[in-house]
Amino acid sequence: MHRSLLVNLAFTRSIHSTISRQVPSNVIPISKIRNIGIIAHIDAGKTTTTERMLYYSGVTSRIGNVDQGDTVTDYLPQERERGITIQSAAITIPWNKHRINLIDTPGHADFTFEVIRSLKVLDGAVTILDSVAGVEAQTEKVWKQSANIPKIIFVNKMDREGARFGKTCKEIISKLGTRILLINVPYFKEIEGSRERQFEGVLDVIDQKLLKWGPNDSIAVEELNDDQYEIVSKCRESLIETLGEIDETVIDSFFESEDYMKVPSDILKKSIKKSTLEQFATPVLCGASFKNIGVQPLLDAVTSYLPSPLESQPDIANTELKLTSEGHIIANNDKLTAALAFKVITDPIRGLMVFVRVYSGKLVSNSNIYVNGQQIKIGKLLIMNADKPQEVSELKAGNIGVIVNDNLKTGDTVLAHIQKKKLKREEVNIVVNPIGIPPPVFSISIEPKTTGDRRGVEEGLSLMLKEDPSLKYVNDEETGQLILSGMGELHLEIAVDRLKTLKAKFEVGRVMVSYKETIVDKQLVEKSLEDDGISIKLSMEPIPESKKDLPRNKQYFDLGDNNMMNINHEPHWWEEKKLMTYTSLINGIISGLIGSIQRGPVIQLPLNSTLISIETISIPDDFNNVSKLIQLIRIALIDLLKNEQSFNVMEPMMKVIIDVPPEDIGSVIQDLTAQRNGIISSIDDDSGELGVEMVKFREISESQYLPSEPNVESGISINKNGSEFKGNQTINAIVPLKEMIGYLPSLRKITKGRGNFNMEFKGMEAVTRDRLDDIVKELQVF
């Protein structure tokens, strides 16, 4: 007999949201805040899941749809047109008396920087997988990047043909290298007269119930039948055995009855949280967001198993902040408010909206803050509900919110005194979680239509750089061109669209790979200005592959593009001369050098991966003309750059991962090797078998119970018509970036729309003579 309890979710939704709205946002205790991200491969269903979360929490009154372009989180017009996420939206979801600050991050590799930036401020994450594709390349990458934060996994799209929960779980263990904790497992309804079974709900392993989703937001909570009891019992056995490895409470509780089904849910929940926070194992849930199945248990899992800011250990290396034994983040100096600006977006009405994570103290509206050593006054503070802001008077430690101010940019550390006093000189220089920016590898020329348009274009570009520091632009004085560089074709395409919306009028050149020049062997030059009695000795050499191999006892200054500078003189040598501070001297030299390394001797491209050393500076005792000295350094460098034979051209190489149906694998490889100068590193069969490198997890996977899969016979997925459903195979290759321009349409053509690829920057590589000739020809047309 089934006891069926119909719960109307519209009702549940309104309870959750009423509770949360009655509590003013800043009154929600920090223990009930969850700063989490959603990360996954492109198209796994992040935006679709987020939309359901917003709906079920009562934030929205209807469900937005990616395919119809009316979602809340993808609110840029470009996102809605393309059905993809570009900017990480920060939204606040009330759930179960908690506040979930959620960052929806883009899955496309061109926007990796957005992901890295968001990860810095998160305490936990939900990883969404497509149950047909399993663990995809971008997920593996982001999983590694987010190694320091606890995560839960949602196996989405369980309604699709070829969905494989068990196989996906195996891949979680083998590819992501984690133990799994099954929180719920899929339930399939039989269809009369068909071998196929339809996904309808989940078996709740913790509370031992069957949850079935029906029409009109209804959910039926049923008791388990004998078969389901058997499945849940096995899942509990595996869960309790895994948890028992690090938690004796669970084992003790089991021995009281020696029955896996009798271990109380609250003991299990506590233990799952402990295991998750220690990253000993990862809770796994399943559902089909598009069909509105499984999202509420996911929200419950976020509040139950992911950490509050008090329980998290965010990446605070290289900062003046520290963790207390209870896990609180505080400034070494307890009077300090410290926050990180992790994202800047432009709002047509409010101006620049700067998203910050507050680490210690609190930010107060209409008060003074310090940014890059400067004191600035801020106005309003906001928290976000998708693109709808709510004004608050203060933002306490642990929170994510918005400062409305034009003077901040992404990556800035925001500091203040808790009692609004002035900060001391040494406190002003504290830096929180600096974000490393990867090198942009694609460029386009931007040509303003008239001289009058140039200013508008330049202003637009500067604004965009504040929002997105992974874009870069160079003003080429000789050609008068503005060169905009970014992480990929899509990144630049979106940037150009954005520039157009800023009312700038311009023409765009075609997409170009960012080639660079570098020095091959060390060169030395000596120069002097006899009338002034000053002389200098300067050298340039290739930078070691790892910056860790640079001689230790020197101080290095960054010139951008993997170029560095050092000066052999100690600060006190200069300070004694009392002409200007050592920092100003260094800044003067750096800006002179940066200007001079934008054109190499081979084909006038910017230099990359060089180390410039100012070996000696000799000046008379009565010397007082610092600008002459900086000018001399520049002259010396320009002289050194005349030596063309010592330089070569470099091109960006990419690690490419391509998912293709097995029948197209030959043609894709042929195209990569014969047409695109690619080198194949490996071909992985996507069968879900464990990889050799993951042997250490084999034991875990074998003891892990995985429910049997419907629509699968003898380990093979079966289509509706009973024939074999074949998954994709993965090709790993190294390919010059140039050959990857416009690759997607070509891949889609070869694979009849079923192939997909992902690539990431591997490094710059020196080119051969033949390749150099091609590049020269290519640049002539540009």
Ligand X SMILES: Nc1nc2c(ncn2[C@@H]2O[C@H](COP(=O)(O)OP(=O)(O)OP(=O)(O)O)[C@@H](O)[C@H]2O)c(=O)[nH]1
Which listed range, 17-25, 82-90, 224-232, 511-519, lies at the site for ligand X (CB under 6 A)? 82-90
84 binds ligand X (CB under 6 A): yes
657, 137 Cβ separation under 8 angstroms? yes
Binding residues for ligand X restricted to 93-132, rule: CB under 6 A: 106-107
Residue closer to ligand X (CB basis): 293 or 597: 293
Q: Is 83 in the site for ligand X (CB under 6 A)?
A: yes
Give the Cα separation of 164 and 158 in Å (integer).
8
**CB 127 → ligand X: shortest distance, Å?**
11
156 is in an annotated binding site: yes
Is 422 a known ligand-binding residue? no
62: tokens are 């209807």
d(CA 183, CA 630): 65
Helix (H, G, I), strand (E, B) or coil at 369: strand
> Between 40 and 636, whose beta carbon lies closer to ligand X?
40
- The reply to whether 632 sits near ligand X by the rule CB under 6 A is no
* Cβ(315)–Cβ(436) below 8 Å: no
Is residue 85 at the binding interface for ligand X, with CB under 6 A as the rule?
A: yes
160 binds ligand X (CB under 6 A): yes
- Piece in contact with ligand X (CB under 6 A), picked from 35-43, 112-120, 500-508, 667-675: 35-43
Q: Could you please report the per-residue DSSP string of 548-605?
A: GGS-TTS-EEEEETTEEEEESS-HHHHHTT-SS-HHHHHHHHHHHHHHHTTS-TTTS-
Minimum distance of ligand X from residue 245's CB (angstroms)? 33
Q: 159 or 664, CB closer to ligand X?
A: 159
Q: Tell me whether residue 159 is annotated as binding.
A: yes
Which tokens sit at 422? 């002035």
Instruction: Output 36 or 483, the one with its CB closest to ligand X.
Output: 36
| Site membership for ligand X, residue 467 (CB under 6 A) | no
Contact assessment for residue 285 and residue 152, using Cβ atoms and an 8 Å cutoff:
yes
Tokens of 180: 């799994």
Q: Using CB under 6 A, which residues numbered 189 to 218 contact ligand X?
A: none
Q: Which of 3, 27, 62, 67 binds ligand X (CB under 6 A)?
A: 67
Work out whether 399 is an interface residue with ligand X (CB under 6 A). no
Q: Please tell me the distance from the alpha carbon of residue 104 to that of residue 181, in angstroms, as a whole number.
A: 24
Each residue 265-304 as x (binds ligand X by CB under 6 A) or -, in order, gives -----------------------xxxx-------------
Of positions 9, 40, 281, 395, contacts ligand X by CB under 6 A: 40
Coil, helix or strand for 152?
Answer: strand
Considering the complex, what minimum distance in angstroms separates the CB of residue 286 from ligand X? Answer: 10
What minimum distance in Å lies between the beta carbon of 463 and ligand X? Answer: 24
Nearer to ligand X, 67 or 192 (CB): 67
Query: How many residues lie near ligand X (CB under 6 A)?
Result: 23
**Which parts of 161-190 interact with ligand X (CB under 6 A)?**
none
Tokens of 533: 């009695």
Q: Which residue number is nearest to ligand X in terms of Cβ?
A: 107
Task: Using the minimum distance from each CB to ligand X, give the nearer residue, 172 or 288.
Answer: 288
Which of 33, 42, 182, 700 is close enough to bind ligand X by CB under 6 A?
Answer: 42
Partner residues linked to 648 by β-bridges: 518
CB contact set of 699 (below 8 Å; sequence gap of 6+): none
Please state the three-class secondary structure of 373-413 as a single string.
CEEEECCCEEEEECCEEEEECEEECCCEEEEECCCCCCCCE
What tokens appear for 446 in the block? 């931007």
The residue range among 154-162, 371-379, 482-490, 736-744 that interacts with ligand X, by the rule CB under 6 A, is: 154-162
* Cβ–Cβ under 8 Å, residues 282 and 254: no
For the chain, how many residues are written? 782
| 451 CB burial (10 A radius; 0-12, 13-18, 19+) | exposed
- Pairing, β 124-130 against β 151-156: parallel
**Does 46 engage in binding with ligand X (CB under 6 A)?**
yes
Closest to ligand X by CB, 130 or 517: 130
- Displacement of CA 462 from its chain's centroid (Å): 23
**Residue 758 engages ligand X in binding (rule: CB under 6 A):** no
Any residues with CB less than 8 A from the CB of 619 and at least 6 apart, and which?
533, 534, 577, 629
Determine which residue in the list 25, 35, 92, 156 makes contact with ligand X, applying CB under 6 A: 156
Of 36, 66, 494, 525, the one binding ligand X (CB under 6 A) is: 66
Q: Which residues bind ligand X (CB under 6 A)?
A: 40, 42-48, 66-67, 83-85, 106-107, 156-157, 159-160, 288-291
User: Which residues line the annotated binding site?
Assistant: 40-47, 104-108, 156-159
User: Which residues line the annotated binding site for GTP?
Assistant: 40-47, 104-108, 156-159
